[in-house]
């Protein structure tokens, strides 16, 4: 990438000339990304305005995040204090009845924080983001996967408000309708299950479950992993030793068994699944962040920052973590499918809330009918397969696009 | 930022006085004496060069001044007096306020010293954020101004450029702008041109000279390149195996070197007439330095006396107190004419006995500097 500035045009290495701002503005480089800016002279730019806009852009995201969080807390307070137990949170008869559950509150929180952070990251370094996107776009499969995931995410988010809860559509008279591909009618494009519930509705509600589990558990895992990893790398010595031995312990500890046990004790709950997966699934990310942070800690710019008078905390906050963020985003993308699959496995085994239409549960329900009605298990199975695979494709492409070693 | 009262009170003293600096590293294999009793002083506005081969302790000396060495495993002792304060006694917090603001560093490899995720302007502004109360807009303006001062064309554009979009020379100029941001009294530059090619190097050296006269800074210049020394130095300190071999004004070092090591170094320099001569043997291990003079095992003039006791003290050469060398033959009771003529054949010259004299020509740490 250093070839961006051809030496022939490089005037900066000559002995310093006074009044360089008088120089023709376009002689600096032929870098395509800069050509736009080089057309203007330095004097022509109103820096106060530029700065004001930048300051505003950052505060805008922070303000939006704070506002949304306050709103969320207010709603949560309303739900907890005003709305009676067992009553739905939102109840407009005929339009919308929605009892927001604990895991949905958590999901909303994660969405608010996640969207605000990613938005801030992208607007703060727009050219860097554009470069990552150009790299990412080269991978066709990943782009297709990204669109698929966005669709799944959007449908999972709003779908349950559009399509009816499958349990309201129980009708044994229309059980085992074939999907369109097997010669069925367009009334039920994906067919129906043993109780006559349309598979499309089951799949849509399953998208919500998978997204909630994947996004929320990953958010918890990434937060814990980043904190533990950077603390271990930063403090070193005994702190590092203790934290990393705990990570070893957690890695060998069967979370799945713990989950089965917890679900047996407290009853099936999606919140429990999400929290336990998040709280015990961060060891890989923690280890990765630690090793990356150690590597970055040896970098010249860390020494340079120390030589410029930065405190150790400043160095970690402003130099180590931003350089690790690409790795974290990639690791997070690759962690999502693990959690999605884990939840589906639990649901397949029957450890699930009867109100939660997990793909795993639908697959399990249809497995007795595989010989006669293959589509009941296959349709949610295909969605699960595609979702997991799409996450892997996207993670892989992100890894290629954001690898800092390629930026040299 | 500069405390005027302390500056006046110490006006007659050097800006920086390093006395008997010892930086040791305690490793599993033993104690590495990277710097072993080095004394250097730098006056305001002066350029002092630390010269020596790889592993002589130049960089460790430079980094010990503001305690940039990790302790442990390192251990720094001696006194480092900067503007009347002893930095060896200073707390980490005090040191942080000195670093970047009063003593700034420029490192060897500009490509590594810049953080790839931030624009050049932001990295200059970062120092201002740490050390000043300037607002965001003012920091930005000052950063662009500094980028202009270090001779970057279109500083406003460069400020929005990421390091990977800049050339090596441009990056080093950005590093200089970062170092200048705190308007330091002392600039420590550690081989600033080693990673750059010769034409770029000349530009950076000229820029340094300009900036020094403009900002009135003192410069502690670490280099292995005697050509650079001749160009920039007022005062030269020759280091070898953690010890000061010779110290004096640049003319006296180049035209009347008192230590055989200095002369051997000068003989390695191309373009000074006569055949180039490499120094036989290798620098001694910092884990287990030899008895007597550190250079004795490689010295063509060494006699039995040179291999006994500790390293010789620094004594005046020609009676001038500003030019000292740590060679036994300058002490009273020794005949200095012994080291003035051609080296004796055979005799005590141990380095010549092992036939290694011409085997190594790559003692200089960057072979690409050879023509």
Look-up of token digits 């302390």: B6
- Residue A2 belongs to some domain of the structure: no
- Residue A387 belongs to some domain of the structure: yes
> Does the pLDDT at position A241 exceed 90?
yes
pLDDT band at A11 (very low <50, low <70, confident <90, very high): very low
User: Measured between CB atoms, does B113 come within 8 Å of chain A?
Assistant: yes
Contacts 24+ apart (CB under 8 A), A130-139: A131/A33, A132/A398, A132/A401, A132/A402, A133/A401, A135/A400, A135/A401, A135/A402, A135/A406, A136/A397, A136/A398, A136/A400, A136/A401, A139/A393, A139/A396, A139/A397, A139/A400
A171 shares a domain with A67: no
Please report residues of A whose CB lies closer than 8 A to that of B126: 305, 308, 310, 318
pLDDT for the residue A48: 57
A239 shares a domain with A101: no
Contacts (Cβ under 8 Å, ≥6 apart) of A312? A234, A306
Omega before A359 within 30 of 0, i.e. cis? no
A307 shares a domain with A238: yes
The answer to whether B153 touches A28, Cβ cutoff 8 Å, is yes
User: Measured between CB atoms, does B215 come within 8 Å of chain A?
Assistant: no
Q: What is the ipTM of this complex?
A: 0.74
What is the C-alpha separation between B11 and B266, in angstroms, rounded? Answer: 35
* Residue at a domain's end among A106, A136, A166: A136
**CB contact residues (below 8 A), chain A span 34-63, against chain B:** 34, 37-38, 42, 45, 47-48, 50-52, 54-55
User: Measured between CB atoms, does A9 come within 8 Å of chain B?
Assistant: no
Share of chain A above pLDDT 90, in %: 21
A284 shares a domain with A191: yes
Q: Which of B92, B115, B138, B147 to mutate to test the interface with A (most CBs of A within 10 A)?
A: B115
A236 shares a domain with A114: no
pLDDT for the residue A58: 56
pLDDT band at B354 (very low <50, low <70, confident <90, very high): very low
Note the pLDDT tens digit of each residue in B20-51.
888 888 888 888 888 888 888 898 889 999 99
Q: Which two tokens stand for residue B155?
A: 């500083």
A176 shares a domain with A83: no
- Residue A232 belongs to some domain of the structure: yes
Among B66, B153, B164, the residue with its CB nearest the CB of A2 is B164
A201 shares a domain with A130: no
CA B117 to chain centre: 30
> Does the pLDDT at position B347 exceed 80?
no
Note the pLDDT tens digit of each residue in A346-361.
899 888 887 888 999 9
Helix axes A199-235, A321-348, angle to 10 degrees: 140
User: From the CA of B86, how many Å to the nearest CA of chain A?
Assistant: 17
Report helix, strand and coil shares of chain B as percent, to nearest 5.
35, 20, 45
pLDDT for the residue A204: 92
Kindly report the CATH number assigned to the domain that includes residue A398: 1.10.3720.10
Could you tell me the residue range of the domain that residue A109 belongs to? 47-136
Please report residues of A whose CB lies closer than 8 A to that of B153: 11-12, 20, 23, 27-28
Given the DSSP bridges, would you call strands B235-240 and B16-27 parallel, antiparallel or unpaired?
unpaired
A241 shares a domain with A222: yes
pLDDT band at A244 (very low <50, low <70, confident <90, very high): very high
Question: Is A307 in contact with B112 (Cβ distance < 8 A)?
Answer: no
The answer to whether B173 touches B211, Cβ cutoff 8 Å, is no
- Residue A36 belongs to some domain of the structure: no
Note the pLDDT tens digit of each residue in B132-159.
888 888 899 999 999 998 888 888 888 9
A376 shares a domain with A266: yes
- Residue A16 belongs to some domain of the structure: no
Contacts (Cβ under 8 Å, ≥6 apart) of A201? A163, A164, A165, A166, A169
H-helix segments, A126-198: 126-137, 140-162
User: From the CA of A90, how many Å to the nearest CA of chain B?
Assistant: 45
- Residue A189 belongs to some domain of the structure: yes
Question: Is B113 in contact with A1 (Cβ distance < 8 A)?
Answer: no
Q: CB count, 10 Å around CB of B323? A: 22
The answer to whether B291 touches B309, Cβ cutoff 8 Å, is yes
Question: Is B155 in contact with A21 (Cβ distance < 8 A)?
Answer: yes
Number of domains in chain A: 2
* Residue at a domain's end among A114, A136, A158: A136
Question: Is A407 in contact with B126 (Cβ distance < 8 A)?
Answer: no
A278 shares a domain with A200: yes
User: Measured between CB atoms, does A19 come within 8 Å of chain B?
Assistant: no
- Residue A25 belongs to some domain of the structure: no
A309 shares a domain with A359: yes
pLDDT band at B271 (very low <50, low <70, confident <90, very high): low
User: Measured between CB atoms, does B275 come within 8 Å of chain A?
Assistant: no
């Amino acid at each position: 990438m250093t070839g961006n500035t051809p030496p022939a045009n490089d005037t900066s290495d000559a002995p310093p000339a006074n009044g360089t701002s008088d120089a023709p503005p376009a002689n600096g480089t032929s870098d395509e990304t800069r050509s736009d800016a080089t057309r203007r002279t330095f004097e022509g730019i109103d820096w106060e305005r530029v700065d004001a806009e930048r300051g505003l852009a950052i505060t805008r995201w922070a303000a939006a995040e704070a506002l949304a969080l306050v709103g969320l807390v207010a709603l949560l307070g309303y739900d907890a204090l005003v709305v009676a137990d067992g009553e739905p949170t939102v109840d407009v008869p005929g339009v919308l009845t929605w009892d927001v559950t604990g895991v949905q509150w958590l999901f909303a929180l994660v969405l608010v924080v996640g969207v605000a952070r990613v938005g801030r990251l992208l607007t703060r370094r727009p050219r860097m983001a554009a470069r990552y996107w150009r790299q990412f776009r080269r991978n066709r499969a990943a782009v297709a996967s990204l669109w698929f995931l966005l669709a799944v995410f959007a449908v999972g988010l709003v779908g349950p408000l559009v399509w009816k809860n499958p349990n309201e559509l129980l009708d044994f008279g229309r059980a085992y309708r074939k999907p369109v591909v097997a010669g069925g009618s367009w009334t039920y494009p994906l067919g129906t299950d043993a109780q006559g519930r349309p598979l499309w509705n089951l799949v849509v509600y399953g998208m919500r479950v998978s997204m909630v589990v994947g996004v929320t558990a990953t958010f918890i895992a990434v937060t814990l992993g980043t904190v533990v990893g950077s603390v271990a790398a930063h403090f070193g010595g005994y702190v590092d030793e203790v934290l990393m031995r705990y990570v070893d312990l957690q890695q060998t500890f069967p979370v799945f068994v713990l989950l089965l046990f917890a679900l047996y004790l407290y009853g099936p709950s999606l919140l429990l699944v999400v929290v336990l997966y998040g709280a015990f699934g961060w060891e890989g990310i923690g280890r990765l962040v630690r090793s990356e942070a150690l590597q970055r800690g040896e970098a010249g710019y860390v020494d340079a920052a120390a030589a410029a008078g930065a405190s150790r905390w400043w160095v970690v906050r402003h130099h180590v973590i931003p350089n690790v963020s690409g790795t974290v985003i990639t690791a997070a993308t690759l962690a999502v499918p693990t959690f999605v699959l884990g939840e589906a496995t639990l649901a397949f085994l029957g450890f699930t809330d009867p109100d939660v239409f997990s793909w795993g549960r639908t697959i399990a329900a249809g497995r007795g009918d595989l010989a006669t009605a293959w589509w009941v298990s296959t349709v949610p199975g295909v969605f699960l397969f595609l979702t997991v695979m799409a996450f892997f494709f996207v993670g892989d492409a992100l890894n290629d696009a954001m690898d800092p070693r390629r930026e040299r | 930022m500069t405390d005027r009262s302390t500056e006046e009170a110490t006006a007659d003293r050097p800006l920086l006085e390093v006395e008997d600096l010892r930086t040791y590293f305690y490793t599993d294999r033993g104690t590495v004496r990277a710097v072993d009793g080095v004394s250097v002083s730098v006056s305001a506005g002066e350029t002092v060069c630390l010269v020596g081969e790889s592993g002589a302790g130049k960089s460790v000396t430079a980094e010990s001044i503001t305690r940039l060495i990790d302790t442990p495993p390192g251990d720094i002792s001696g006194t480092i007096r900067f503007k009347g304060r002893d930095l060896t006694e200073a707390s980490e917090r005090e040191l942080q306020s000195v670093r970047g603001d009063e003593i700034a560093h420029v490192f060897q490899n500009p490509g590594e010293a810049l953080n790839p995720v931030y624009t050049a302007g932001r990295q200059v502004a970062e120092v201002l954020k740490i050390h000043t109360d300037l607002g965001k807009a003012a920091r930005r303006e000052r950063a662009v101004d500094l980028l202009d001062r270090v001779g970057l064309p279109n500083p406003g554009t460069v400020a929005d450029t990421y390091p990977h979009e800049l050339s090596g020379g441009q990056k080093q100029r950005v590093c200089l702008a970062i170092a200048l941001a705190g308007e330091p009294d002392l600039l420590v530059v550690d081989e600033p041109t080693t990673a750059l090619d010769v034409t770029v190097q000349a530009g950076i050296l000229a820029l340094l000279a300009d900036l020094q006269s403009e900002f009135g800074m003192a410069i502690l210049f670490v280099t292995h390149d005697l050509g650079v020394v001749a160009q920039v130095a007022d005062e030269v300190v020759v280091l070898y195996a953690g010890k000061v071999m010779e110290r004096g004004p640049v003319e006296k070092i180049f035209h009347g070197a008192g230590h055989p090591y200095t002369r051997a170094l000068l003989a390695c320099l191309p373009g000074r007439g006569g055949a180039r001569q490499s120094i036989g043997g290798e620098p001694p291990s910092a884990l287990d330095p030899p008895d007597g003079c550190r250079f004795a095992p490689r010295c063509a003039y060494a006699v039995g006396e040179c291999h006994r006791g500790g390293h010789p003290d620094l004594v005046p050469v020609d009676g001038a107190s500003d030019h000292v060398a740590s060679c036994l033959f300058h002490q009273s009771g020794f005949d200095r004419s012994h080291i003035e003529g051609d080296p004796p054949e055979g005799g005590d010259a141990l380095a010549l006995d092992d036939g290694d004299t011409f085997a190594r020509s790559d003692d200089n740490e960057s072979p690409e500097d050879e023509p």
